């Protein structure tokens, strides 16, 4: 599920439901969840600790334990983390289970098995923090910082914005939305984005994410209605072929970095030159055919 808004909602919910609770036992059902450490080792270290607080850094859920260690949970594409009442039935894709002293259970659900959990020392935690860029909704994220990180890069601006060392929290949906609201085409080389456009991007990132955070959190407190169900939907993501709400042009989808980018070709202009180059690049590349090609030497 998650980009920053969903991770934030999951974290807040966990803090409300289980902050201060004691974990009496833990179980991991798939080796890749805790790889390269085996689940039993992690489970043994969790058992008997108190979950002091849950917080978020980027797309990581962090669980501070009374042992001094921190459990890092990364939900990747399909992970989810929540508390269930004592007798509630477990979802089919339950990958880890923490039993609390009162009998409730923290469930880690993850159909695609891409999510990861790891115990971090204080040092590990500091290293993680240092490797990540600023939080987009904090003061530390400024237009000046964004400008500095875009400077000189030939790489497409969309791909740079997905780099979690530039700014944390953006994923494929909200990066598309932020670029749309800033009127910047995703394939533009980062270094060609003007100072004025950077100001607009900075503002759009903050606006789009703060709105999405509120919406994601509300979706929890009032189950049954999704973010989209009340006008907080997306403008371009997933809307290939539909008319742009702003100008009526047809929303396009292109491939970038192995994933889809959606944009409005009229609201997000880009020089013809770059469009042609991008098109050429993608058509020239032979489709992957199984094995590695021999490298020239």
Minimum distance from CB of 5 to DNA (Å)? Answer: 6
d(CA 244, CA 247): 6
Q: Does 252 bind DNA (CB under 7 A)?
A: no
**Is the distance from CB of 167 to CB of 143 less than 8 angstroms?**
no
Residue for token digits 């991991």?
28
Kindly tell me which residue out of 182, 216, 235, 254 binds DNA, with binding defined by CB under 7 A: 216
3 counts as catalytic: yes
Catalytic residue among 112, 148, 191, 259: 259
Kindly tell me which residue out of 6, 69, 109, 177 binds DNA, with binding defined by CB under 7 A: 6
Catalytic residue among 3, 6, 177, 197: 3
d(CA 291, CA 184): 37
d(CA 217, CA 209): 12
Give me the DSSP letters along 65-127: ETTS-EEEEE-TTT-EEEEE-TTPPPPTTEEEEEEETTS-EEEEE-TTS--EEEEE-HHHHHH
**Which C-beta is closer to DNA: that of 23 or that of 212?**
212
Backbone angles phi, psi at 155, to 5 degrees: -50, 145
**Which residue intervals of 155-230 are DSSP H helices?**
157-162, 172-182, 195-221
- Cis omega before residue 36 (within 30°)? yes
Kindly tell me which residue out of 22, 164, 210, 246 binds DNA, with binding defined by CB under 7 A: 164
Q: Does 113 bind DNA (CB under 7 A)?
A: yes
Minimum distance from CB of 141 to DNA (Å)? Answer: 16
**Which C-beta is closer to DNA: that of 21 or that of 62?**
62
Q: Does 257 bind DNA (CB under 7 A)?
A: yes
259 counts as catalytic: yes
Q: Does 173 bind DNA (CB under 7 A)?
A: yes
**Which C-beta is closer to DNA: that of 100 or that of 134?**
134
155 counts as catalytic: no
**Residue ranges that bind DNA, judged by CB under 7 A:** 1-3, 5-6, 32, 58-59, 74, 76-77, 92-93, 111-114, 154-155, 159, 162, 164, 171-173, 216, 238, 257-260, 281, 285, 288, 292, 295
């Amino acid at each position: 599920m998650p980009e920053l808004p969903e991770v934030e909602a999951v974290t807040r919910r966990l803090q409300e439901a289980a902050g201060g609770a004691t974990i009496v036992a833990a179980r991991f059902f798939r080796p890749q969840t805790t790889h390269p450490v085996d689940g039993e080792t992690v489970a043994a270290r969790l058992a008997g600790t108190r979950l002091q607080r849950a917080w978020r850094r980027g797309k990581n859920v962090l669980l501070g334990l009374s042992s001094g260690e921190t459990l890092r949970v990364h939900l990747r594409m399909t992970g989810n983390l929540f508390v269930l009442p004592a007798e509630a039935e477990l979802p089919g894709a339950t990958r880890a289970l923490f039993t609390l002293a009162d009998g409730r259970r923290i469930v880690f659900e993850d159909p695609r098995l891409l999510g990861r959990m790891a115990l971090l020392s204080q040092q590990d935690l500091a290293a993680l923090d240092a490797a990540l860029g600023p939080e987009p909704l904090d003061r530390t994220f400024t237009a000046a910082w964004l400008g500095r990180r875009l400077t000189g890069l030939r790489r497409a601006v969309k791909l740079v914005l997905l780099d979690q060392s530039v700014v944390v929290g953006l994923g494929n949906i909200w990066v598309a939305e932020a670029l749309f609201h800033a009127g910047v085409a995703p394939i533009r080389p980062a270094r060609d984005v003007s100072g004025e456009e950077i100001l607009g991007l900075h503002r759009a990132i903050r606006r789009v994410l703060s709105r999405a955070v509120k919406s994601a959190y509300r979706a929890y407190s009032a189950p049954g209605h999704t973010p989209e169900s009340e006008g907080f939907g997306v403008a371009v993501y997933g809307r290939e072929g539909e008319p742009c709400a702003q100008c009526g042009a047809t929303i396009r989808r292109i491939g970038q970095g192995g994933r889809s980018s959606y944009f409005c070709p009229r609201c997000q202009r880009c020089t013809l030159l770059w469009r042609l180059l991008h098109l050429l690049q993608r058509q020239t590349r032979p489709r992957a055919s199984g094995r590695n090609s021999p490298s020239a030497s």
